Amino acid sequence: MRIFDRMSNGWTLGMTSMKIIRENKSLLLFPVLSTAALITVVLTFAGGTFAFFGWNFDLFLDEAIAGNQYLAYGALFIFYLISYFIIVFFNVGLVHCARLIFDGEKPSVKDGLTFSGSRVGAILSWAVLAATVGVILQMIEERLGWIGQIVVGIIGIAWSIATFFVVPIIAYEDVDPVEALKRSGKLMKEKWGEAVGANFSFGLFFVLGYIIVIISAIFLFQIHPILGVVSTVLSLLLLHTVVAAAKTVFIAATYNHMMDRPAGRFDDAALDGIFIDKK
């Protein structure tokens, strides 16, 4: 399958994800709750930093560099740990609800949250691993300067590919976080193909969405500046919420298909076209 055919295939699968979201709007609550929780965490950490250093953020950096870098890295680890836990917790719930939809059921948000609650141990273990990797990458970037930025960028791409199936693996396979990473990486290595195409389609959704938001903002700003700003912020939040939910549904469908489970509205031939079996 040629690259443009794969991109077209990825677009088709992305549209299927969007249709599922449109028919099951409650799925949008998972990224909404995740975002709300993350904002709370960010504000909490920002408030703590302000309480110690006020508006003088440079002082915070000087203190960290001068002798408290391990304390700073410790705080960064906790921040990453909580953030990754929140993200994966709600994504696991969304993946589970998607699976129930693929099976012909009508799940509620409570079903997804209850399932995520039953996988708290696995989610926390993965968050510890992801937070550790995050802190190590931050240390590399800070100590190696622009070379570190390049290295971290390359590792970041490899990490995103290797962890593509981590959420459904954490949800449904009884493995430790290292094994979950190996398992996800193995699936991608054996059947690497057009997750790139699918990611392109979701990226294109973002581009198209931003164009629409910008045009709308310009029009509404002419009516009233406040109306333009408020509508733009709300539109961007909605865009990111919908695309994030749709992408998670796509990952759930792809994983289900690879495990020979129902994938709902997703076409089997289209899903087969995502990956190329290297064997």
Asked whether the beta carbons of 24 and 265 are under 8 A apart, the reply is no
- Give the Cα separation of 63 and 34 in Å (integer): 32
Give pLDDT, residue 125. 96
Residue 183: closest CA among 95, 255, 97: 255
Burial of 43 (0-12, 13-18, 19+ CB in 10 A): exposed
Q: What is the CA radius of gyration of the chain?
A: 21
**Helical residues (DSSP H) of the chain, grouped into ranges:** 3-23, 29-53, 57-66, 69-102, 109-118, 120-162, 166-172, 177-190, 195-223, 225-258, 268-272
At a CB cut-off of 8 Å and minimum separation 6, what does 30 contact?
90, 91, 93, 94, 97, 109, 112, 245, 248
Locate 209 and state its tokens. Answer: 């969405």
Categorize the per-residue pLDDT at 92 as very low, low, confident or very high, splitting at 50, 70 and 90: very high
Mean pLDDT of the residues in the chain: 83
The highest-confidence range among 66-80, 128-142, 263-277, by mean pLDDT, is 128-142
pLDDT per residue as tens digits for the range 194-248: 555 555 567 778 888 889 988 988 888 888 888 888 888 888 888 889 999 999 9
Res. 2: pLDDT tops 70: no
Average pLDDT score over residue span 155-164: 86
User: What pTM, to 2 d.p., does this model score?
Assistant: 0.84
Phi, psi torsion values for 174, nearest 5 degrees: -85, 80
Asked whether the beta carbons of 274 and 9 are under 8 A apart, the reply is yes
pLDDT per residue as tens digits for the range 40-86: 888 887 766 665 555 555 555 555 545 566 777 788 899 999 999 99
Largest CA distance in the chain: 60
Instruction: Answer positive or negative: Cα dihedral of 202, 84, 165, 112.
Output: negative
Q: At what angle do helices 29-53 and 57-66 cross, to 10 degrees?
A: 80
Average pLDDT score over residue span 148-152: 82
Give pLDDT, residue 96. 96
Q: At what angle do helices 29-53 and 109-118 cross, to 10 degrees?
A: 60
